Amino acid sequence: MKFYLIKENLQECRIEDIEHAESPYCAIMTPEEYTANKDVFQMGIDMDLDLRHVMDTKVIVNFDSLTGTLNIPDNFTFSDDKFKIAFAMDEKGIVLIDTDTYAENLVDNIRLSRKWRLPSLERFVYDFLEETIRPDAMMLESVENDLSTMEIDIMQGTIEEYPAQLNDIRSSLLDLHKHYEHLIDLSKELEENENGFFTEDNLRYFRLFAERVMRLQDTVASLRDYIVQLRNLIGEQLAIKQNHIMTLLTVITTIFMPLTLIAGWFGMNFTNMPSINSPLGYPLTILVSVVIVAVSLIWFKRKKWL
């Protein structure tokens, strides 16, 4: 359980200090700690604090408070794990409810790296939301580099079938795209300022955050299209390989057709066949066969079938 006053930077304080503080506050608590101390914040709300039931990112406008949840994908492991946070907020401050250390780590990053000329609750909320997406640009760039490497390997024939890794990336990008959609909705809801908690000048922070998330969402959409192109490229490379195999089989069949005809012709048991008793018959047949093979190979080479 930690408490901060939002001044020029985040200043750690005690729970008693926030009751009469002139500056907005930020509190980080577990569900049990919030249940035991919720009267201090005077928000008059009962929240579902079972974070296992958090399924998406959203905000709910209450009579005298805002409540909501953040369901943040673990983008670096591409797993189904999510960072789940609940929050409650009014004009005096925000309470972050977390069973893990994720929210605490984000707030600590803000405390160490931010110093505000015009501190406000809106600016803190903006910086906190921005911390949740800060690694995403680097992660998406890494995904793009991986896809580019796959494209080179496909063109060089190193990858001959659809990699299972592409399915994992595609699924994670779809999940991330939905998450960004929810973040945009959340920021738009905050910008509406239905309860009048925020000053008009500071609503621009939520608009700036929405625009940044939209740019990330566009990048995700581009990467999903890139994956579709790679899937088509793999199909095209497979078709080219199959065409090469069919061409080779056609060439072999064409070369052996006249040889099969010669073998069948001279394999007939007629006593009066030409050259059957000649000592040059067998060498001559071999010579004719070699000439046929050589002429066929030269012809296919000129046609670029080989």
**Domains along the chain?**
2-238 (no CATH), 250-302 (1.20.58.340)
Instruction: Give the pTM.
Output: 0.77
What proportions of the chain, in percent to the nearest 5, are helix, strand and coil? 60, 15, 25
Distances 275 to 43, 118, 141, 268 between C-alpha atoms, Å: 112, 108, 76, 13
Tell me 236's DSSP state: H
Per-residue pLDDT of the chain (306 residues; tens, 9 = 90+): 899 999 999 999 988 888 788 899 999 999 888 888 888 887 767 666 666 777 788 888 888 888 888 998 876 555 567 888 999 998 899 999 998 899 999 999 999 998 999 899 999 999 999 999 998 999 999 999 988 988 888 888 777 666 778 888 888 888 899 999 999 999 999 999 888 889 999 999 999 999 999 999 999 999 999 988 888 888 877 777 778 888 888 888 888 888 888 888 777 766 677 766 777 777 877 888 888 888 888 888 887 776
Q: Note the Cα 112 to chain centre separation in Å.
A: 29
Tell me 203's DSSP state: G
Predicted pLDDT at 266:
74
Pairing of strands 82-90, 10-13: unpaired
Tell me 226's DSSP state: H
Predicted pLDDT at 44:
67
Spell out the long-range contacts of 174-179 with Cβ–Cβ below 8 A and sequence spacing 24 or more. 174/224, 175/73, 176/73, 176/75, 176/136, 176/220, 177/217, 177/220, 177/221, 177/224, 178/56, 179/57, 179/71, 179/72, 179/73
Predicted pLDDT at 170:
86
Predicted pLDDT at 141:
92
